Structure 1
């Protein structure tokens, strides 16, 4: 790898030169370790980046090979043991391959969470286990789900460890890549295998020049400024604008490999280059830096793939920031203007050179920085699935609510799915750049909300889910024993048992079924008398997958019970 540093600020050239010349060693031989009657521990909050958990042996000693390690000093990003009792443990018979910790973050998945997938046995019956946050009902986001499928793994053979398991036999593959320390050919082969199996959709069309935009990325809307300006510039210069969030993983990988010129903003998009065919040495890649921070993990990706991109500094940065929170302001810098002139590109947008527009966007940057970095207080509000108070960072709530269509921010109230009679204090927000004078906000219920939760055998109640999101388990054969629906619509529901027949009809906020009696529900029926509402629902059976959607007041049965439920409504 040899970076083209011609279009960086002078103070950045030396920094990039230094980090790019740091050696990332190639590891020749990876190993596996095997344990019998060991335990896997779900993730709990701890002093490490992703928490504590992982695996311990039959004598309750930590298994360090189950950790996620980082850097030459082997800093622990995830791992560690904690105390537990026998009544918290479920036994899993058979052999499982340990895949480590996972959460639904695409960038971290590529560099931290998929590194053990190099060890795949040639059997369709092989079982795997991922560690997830304790008591969390987990399912893959679509990109990760498709990644797993393209590797030839049946997602139904993956267990998510959200409580403690004792496992008859556990195989732990070594990390095939440890950030900033080493990589292996096995790590690259994971992505080569995925790439070799892609099937682009019928909407896929090959383009010579592509610009990967972050404009539609939900988090970027609250942390990045002038994405439109950059999109328009590249589009006017004959780049086809691609929005990764709108594409299948297959199409994304095809675009990366089929184009001849590829431009992108620095960030997670760089990690997608792991899918690039190494034979495409002719590809021209432009990386537009949105910050002064050198992302050394992204440089790892470039080293592993031996990619030599053209780096362009194009940002305004007045204050220190972190990569995770920002904010970031893209700006037509002198570096970008130099690049434009020397490459024969053109500026069509008058805002590109507008002093007034620059001052306006700097004002936005100042307000965004205050919102993200000056406000570190926490607020609390009631969780609908319990009486406990949960704490959330003010800024995360603000950005989260701004990104969800179910929510609106207005004056001193946050309209959402969660309702509390108490006000939320110790907070200060800016709504659309208009400061709230009060230091209190209140959660208020929307008129068209729908919440539902299920009680699962050997687990208990799940968190409440919202319209068109399932509750339950897709990867464990655990049956639903009861459910509850909360809604302002006139919704009624009942359940069926082979021995007892249909239960009495329940209304909103009433529990349907039994808990603690190990009686699985074998049929349900949900209905509404509200003619303005289209109500549909379906169930998930462990061996047969999802049923078809059924409409209002339709009885649906499963002799062996079902593991997940999904409801959707349309007004």
Structure 2
């Protein structure tokens, strides 16, 4: 993330700078992540990059201004992304498939598999509707840029995965499945893209208060169904609409939620205007899970909002 936040300064190639310090939690000269290695190469930083993995002293340090936060961004951020895109397209062709309709999936991503119920439903839904399933973490940065450049329609969950749309052309049609009750601040970055249209679909079935990065329960919601009918899309395979699959997703969601991180962060970030929105997701989803004690959940989290 630091590379993208401060990339504008790296790209400026300031003559008074002897080296660019990049924090790397893994010992050695490069990141284990090949996409970041690609970026460093494309920004012509290889000769001046200094990787550190422990406290290090320098005679003089310049800390550049970050180019964005979840609620603010500058033109310098897009300059960084544009530079990456232009240099990636200069790389030798690797003949990767470049479909026009793509779904950026998190179903192979370890953290998501442990915390998000419903990933297989999304893969199945978009595959049924002619989308090629793409797993960004399995591709190089160059490959990802080439795929985004060729795409005409790109769908994904909400969150940081939508940042990939910044590498696309001007005529991209973006579909975002919202996975949390609150509109994700990170989606601000999606709106920086030059997409011709961005459609948000509420796919969130979360039952409990939690922070934006916590456990997620994704389902074929009423809003998802309306989008499907309005666009002439196919429904998910029946397997993913049955109680057995929903309960499997609930188990993933519940297990991650019970680790305590999501609710702990919720308590730290708690804002009065958030709870009614989260409660709305609960009321829309709870009837899918008759084995849960509706009254107990309301008493624990929503007693000041729901009167039953």
Pairwise CA distance, 1:246:
1.4
Residue 13 of structure 2 is aligned to residue 116 of structure 1: no
Residue 193 of structure 2 is aligned to residue 310 of structure 1: no
Structure with the larger RCO, 1 or 2 (CA within 8 Å, 6+ apart): 2
Match of 1:181 in 2: 72
Residue by residue over 1:154-173, the C-alpha shift from the partner in whole angstroms, topping out at 9 and shown as x without a partner, is: 15642427333232x54444
Pairwise CA distance, 1:126:
5.0
**CA distance 1:210–1:131, change in 2 (3 Å):** closer
Task: Answer whether contact 1:224 1:327 (CA < 8 A) is retained.
Answer: yes
Unmatched 5+ stretches in structure 1? 1-107, 377-571
Pairwise CA distance, 1:203:
4.1
Task: Answer whether contact 1:126 1:157 (CA < 8 A) is retained.
Answer: no
**CA distance 1:267–1:375, change in 2 (3 Å):** closer
Q: Which protein has the bigger strand share? A: 1
Pairwise CA distance, 1:355:
3.7
Number of residues of Structure 1 aligned to a counterpart in Structure 2: 259
Residue 181 of structure 2 is aligned to residue 288 of structure 1: no
**CA distance 1:162–1:360, change in 2 (3 Å):** closer
Match of 2:42 in 1: 150
Task: Answer whether contact 1:263 1:286 (CA < 8 A) is retained.
Answer: yes
Match of 2:164 in 1: 272
Cα RMSD over matched residues?
A: 2.8
DSSP-derived class of the 1:309 partner: strand
Task: Answer whether contact 1:290 1:330 (CA < 8 A) is retained.
Answer: yes
Match of 1:249 in 2: 141
Task: Answer whether contact 1:200 1:250 (CA < 8 A) is retained.
Answer: no
Pairwise CA distance, 1:290:
1.1
Match of 2:84 in 1: 194
TM-score, normalised via structure 2 length: 0.74
Partner of residue 335 from structure 1, selected from 214, 223, 233 = 223
Distance 1:261 1:357 in 2: 28
Match of 2:56 in 1: 164
Match of 1:511 in 2: none
Task: Answer whether contact 2:176 2:201 (CA < 8 A) is retained.
Answer: yes
**CA distance 1:234–1:375, change in 2 (3 Å):** closer
Query: After the TM superposition, which residues 19-168 of structure 1 pair with which residues of structure 2 at under 5 Å, given as runs?
Result: 108-109=1-2, 112=5, 114=7, 116-121=9-14, 126-131=18-23, 137=27, 139-140=30-31, 141-154=33-46, 157-160=49-52, 162-167=54-59
TM-score, normalised via structure 1 length: 0.42
Structure label with greater radius of gyration: 1
